Structure 1
């Protein structure tokens, strides 16, 4: 398996454990719709939280959360719209980012950014 795929899987596992420890219920993992994939879909306080996980081994090109660009936000929004429709969810929705930065010693820092963005429909 490629190193970046391994890093991504490890990051998603850490993000899932973090969310569960914080009282979130994980509804789905790696949920796809069209070209979009939502890493984690969680539920807490009658709100569905669509979570993008970004794991990096360094920040010389920017912080992990910087890689959730407008294109990715639009893809997440389209997937979220479909998920909300399928689940007939009438409550609040939020988009979070869990950014994980690994060190060469394989330690990491995890940053959970709640309400990280609200994707523009355009």
Structure 2
């Protein structure tokens, strides 16, 4: 039951659900909660020869709209900068990569209403 989870715990729960989803699709998880001075990547995965950065958004309420709508232009820019930082630190600047979003809506009791994996959801200019 997740009705008493803090926002941080809810986010962690959502990240676990997203990871299970990705692994079920054949992705290989490379990193979790990778931090850089200007941002964080929830999940870093590999699908074939492509690196996939995954932003996970989990909500228990539609009061503020669906979770994927919370990705602002500033958040998008930060994700792109952080992805470049990850690739540089891993010496993988020459790989193909993308940023996906996994949006999760759930009931107050933790029942998942919707888990949507949006491929290439975040794009640079």
Q: Same fold (TM over 0.5)?
A: yes
Supply the distance in 2 between the matched residues of 1:10 and 1:105 (Cα, whole angstroms): 12
User: In the alignment, which of 7, 12, 32 is matched to residue 9 of structure 1?
Assistant: 12
Matched, 1:73 2:84: no
User: 4+ residue runs of structure 1 moved beyond 4 angstroms?
Assistant: none
Superposed displacement of residue 2, structure 1: 5.7
CA-to-aligned-CA distance 1:33-65 (integer Å, 9 cap, x gap) = 112000000001100011000000011211000
- Residue 98 of structure 1 is matched in structure 2 by 102
Q: Tell whether the 8 Å contact from 1:39 to 1:53 is kept in structure 2 after alignment.
A: yes
Query: Structure 1: how far apart are the matches of 2:43 and 2:49?
Result: 16
Once structures 1 and 2 are overlaid, which stretch shifts more, 107-116 or 85-94?
85-94
2:117 match: 112
Query: Matches of 1:7 and 1:104 in 2, distance apart?
Result: 11
CA distance in 2 between partners of 1:28 and 1:118 (Å): 21
Number of aligned residue pairs:
120
* TM-score (structure 1 length as normaliser): 0.92
After TM superposition, give the deviation of residue 27 of structure 1 in Å: 0.5
* CA root-mean-square deviation: 1.4
Residue in 1 that maps onto 2:85: 82
- State how far apart, in whole Å, the 2-side matches of 1:64 and 1:45 are: 27
Aligned mates of 1:35, 1:92 — CA distance in 2? 22
Q: Which 5+ residue runs of structure 1 have no aligned equivalent?
A: none
- TM-score, normalised with respect to structure 2: 0.90
Is residue 30 from structure 1 mapped to residue 33 from structure 2 by the alignment?
A: yes
